[in-house]
Chain A
Amino acid sequence: MCNQTVGLIAAELERKGIPTVTLQLLRSIAEAVKPPRGLWVPFAHGYPLHKPGEPELQKNVMRRALEMAADPLLEAGALQDYIPED
């Protein structure tokens, strides 16, 4: 349900003029709810930023997500996949 919850909050923020990027753990729910900008991450529930105690891995996910906001080619409902390096 967490995936839907953040997708709905993101939509409200966008309606009010704040750009968003929303991490998603389940691609099927991302495709159903349609957050404005979604980055699907291939990690288990409870591990949205990859691994505990691994600052660089966590920041890699965040950088990749935030870069989506700066991509002028994306359109509403953009959903991309995060591919970890390790």
Chain B
Amino acid sequence: MATTKELKMTVRLFLKAYRWRENSPIPWTPLAKPLADCRVALVSSAGFVPPGQAKFDESVRGGDSTFRVVPRNTEPGELSDSHRSESFDHTAMEADPDLAFPLTRIRELADEGFLGEVAPRHLSYMGSITAPEHLMRESAPAGAAVLIEDQVDLALLVPV
């Protein structure tokens, strides 16, 4: 189980004073069709970067809130980890990227008929963002535009 007790003291003190951003009001869109007919996209904040794309910038104050588009035919082993946080164990997701960006698993769920199909593009963010204003104002809407263009019916979001 994840707890803040496993974090460094400096991180724990930061989190204790941190003002979490609350979704208010909480937006809500009902699912329009059965899962077996849905086109599903992944949104991971594990900081994975596909081949040929720039790593997330560790020097950005407040966190790099840009995102990378991950085509559905990307193999998990092609992803490189550029999540800046030292507050979690990176070894497992580097050994098995499906643990945090389940590209293979979502294909299998579609093959099994649990889902309709895998969206053509997924989104990769780097979740260590302490100042999320740019994320909320620009980067999240830009990511949404990609999924809207792809006529995605449902998104699964995965933090690390």
Contacts and interface: CB of A to CB of B under 8 A. Distances in A.
A14 B27 contact: yes
B102 A19 contact: no
A42 B26 CA distance: 24
A11 B105 contact: no
B43 interface: yes
A52 B91 CA distance: 10
Question: Chain B binding site: helix, strand, loop or mixed by DSSP?
Answer: loop
15 contacts: A3-B127, A8-B23, A12-B136, A15-B144, A18-B147, A20-B155, A23-B157, A25-B2, A46-B88, A52-B92, A53-B96, A58-B102, A62-B105, A67-B35, A76-B26
A66 B109 CA distance: 11
Contact of A18 (B65, B90, B102, B144): B144
A34 B115 contact: no
Interface of A: 1-26, 28-29, 32-36, 42-53, 55, 58-59, 62-63, 65-67, 69-70, 72, 75-77
Nearest to A69: B31
Contact of B152 (A1, A18, A23, A35): A18
Contacts of A5: 45, 65, 125, 127-129, 132, 135, 159
A43 B63 CA distance: 24
B146 to A, nearest CB: 10
A48 B154 contact: no
A76 B31 contact: no
B99 A18 contact: no
